[in-house]
Copies of this chain bind each other. A is one copy, B any other.
Amino acid sequence: MQSINLGILGAGLAVKHLHWPALHHLAGMFTITAVCDIDLTAAQEIARLVGGDPVVTTDWDEFFGNSQLEAVLISLPIHLNAAAIRAAVRAGKHVICEKPLAASLAQAEDLVAELRDAPVVIEIAENFHYRSDFKQARRWIEEGAIGTVVIINIIAAFWSDPTEGFASTAWRQDHQYRGAVIADAGVHQVAALREVGGEVEQLHAFTKDVHPVLAGSDSLVLNVRFRSGALGQLLFSGAVQAAEPSFDAITALGLEGTITVRHGVATLHRPNRENVEYRAEDARGYIGEFHNFYHAIRSNEPVVATLDEALADWRIIMGALDSAESRQVVLL
């Protein structure tokens, strides 16, 4: 196994809490050889965390100009993603970039049109596209285990604490991208909807802006009609004190049974039959996304979370915001 020299651009919470544990788990696949952040202290902290004496810089051009780097992980405020992906591709680096891929639909469409045939691997790190619990749910549906799928429901309801963690970051509280927490977090649930239900054909949403600190819409009720004919319903709020906070509580209701996904466990329920359970080993998908990135670079394995997948997720989120503003059903 030939290790990939990976540079990290953006030394924030996602790298520390989400990416580094996965990279550490896949030790041998990646060697962190550079860390870049406008905040030198933050970059140095990540450098210490990953070990091995990576180059630390606050200069993006120096970072992308580093000929040692074969690939880069981009984990920046959302509005910087498109420019950073372009810079990485221009520098000939393979790139794995945090979701969502851009700050607006137009920006995302331009980026994808430009880079779809780029000569490097590009992966948008939407971890929900790597969750084997969702893929098991989809497999059961395709096998007909619950008969005709009637409605797929997802409930994500939690409190975004503005004093600590992700919601405390300045770039989230005063965001420079469309959609606030609905875009930043809700794009995960939309990815889940597509993983389980397939492509979306029509949608409608209402939104609400209620969080006392986070600016912008934070709550969403979304109806979809899948291409398959099934209905979908997403409840999302990052501004509620839920009795049972959830981020990915999925229920697929069918004519002959129900599939639920909770906390990494997919369960198939059918009348008069024992439940069947599937437990995901990598319940959050972070290991899967770096594993895929490595093999896409080294073994020409197809990327799972492509630019087009990210664009399809983003179209639904941006369509939901359009629908809420225009009071119209949006056709995709």
* Interface residues of A, Cβ cutoff 8 Å to B: 146-148, 150-151, 153, 155, 157, 159, 202, 204-208, 210-212, 219-225, 229-233, 235, 237, 239-243, 251, 253-258, 260, 267, 269-271, 327-329, 331
Q: In the complex, which of the residues A229, A260, A329 has the most CB atoms of chain B within 10 Å of its own CB atom?
A: A329
The listed residue (B230, B233, B241, B331) touching A256 by CB distance below 8 A is B241
Q: A204-B223, A223-B205 are in contact. Are A150 and B239 (CB under 8 A)?
A: yes
Q: In the complex, which of the residues A205, A241, A270 has the most CB atoms of chain B within 10 Å of its own CB atom?
A: A241
Provide the residues of chain B in CB contact with A146, threshold 8 Å: 241
Provide the residues of chain B in CB contact with A150, threshold 8 Å: 208, 210, 219, 237, 239-240
The listed residue (B233, B271, B327) touching A235 by CB distance below 8 A is B233
The listed residue (B211, B231, B243, B271) touching A221 by CB distance below 8 A is B231
A235 near B269 (CB under 8 angstroms)? no
> Could you tell me the distance in whole angstroms from the C-beta of A239 to the nearest C-beta in chain B?
6
What 3 A-B pairs have minimum CB-CB distances, sorted nearest first? A243-B269, A240-B253, A204-B204
User: Could you name 24 residue pairs across A and B whose Cβ atoms are closer than 8 Å?
Assistant: A150-B208, A150-B219, A151-B157, A151-B208, A151-B237, A202-B327, A204-B204, A204-B206, A204-B223, A206-B223, A206-B225, A208-B229, A208-B231, A210-B255, A211-B255, A219-B231, A221-B233, A233-B233, A241-B256, A242-B253, A242-B258, A243-B258, A243-B267, A327-B329
B241 near A255 (CB under 8 angstroms)? yes
A223 to B230, alpha carbons, bound, how many Å?
16
Provide the residues of chain B in CB contact with A229, threshold 8 Å: 208
B230 near A258 (CB under 8 angstroms)? no
A212 near B328 (CB under 8 angstroms)? no
Provide the residues of chain B in CB contact with A206, threshold 8 Å: 202, 204, 223-225, 231
A235 to B252, alpha carbons, bound, how many Å?
12
B258 near A151 (CB under 8 angstroms)? no
Question: Looking across the interface, which residue of chain B has its beta carbon closest to that of A225?
Answer: B206
> Could you tell me the distance in whole angstroms from the C-beta of A208 to the nearest C-beta in chain B?
5
Q: In the complex, which of the residues A150, A204, A230, A328 has the most CB atoms of chain B within 10 Å of its own CB atom?
A: A150
Provide the residues of chain B in CB contact with A147, threshold 8 Å: 241
A328 to B157, alpha carbons, bound, how many Å?
27
Provide the residues of chain B in CB contact with A237, threshold 8 Å: 150-151, 253
Provide the residues of chain B in CB contact with A256, threshold 8 Å: 241
Q: A235-B233, A271-B241, A327-B202 are in contact. Are A151 and B257 (CB under 8 A)?
A: no
A208 to B151, alpha carbons, bound, how many Å?
9
Provide the residues of chain B in CB contact with A151, threshold 8 Å: 157, 208, 219, 221, 235, 237, 240
**Additional A-B contact list (9), CB under 8 Å, known A206-B224, A233-B233, A327-B331:** A146-B241, A150-B210, A151-B235, A206-B223, A206-B225, A221-B223, A240-B258, A241-B270, A327-B329
> Could you tell me the distance in whole angstroms from the C-beta of A243 to the nearest C-beta in chain B?
4
A146 to B222, alpha carbons, bound, how many Å?
23
> Could you tell me the distance in whole angstroms from the C-beta of A218 to the nearest C-beta in chain B?
8
A148 to B204, alpha carbons, bound, how many Å?
23
Provide the residues of chain B in CB contact with A327, threshold 8 Å: 202, 329, 331
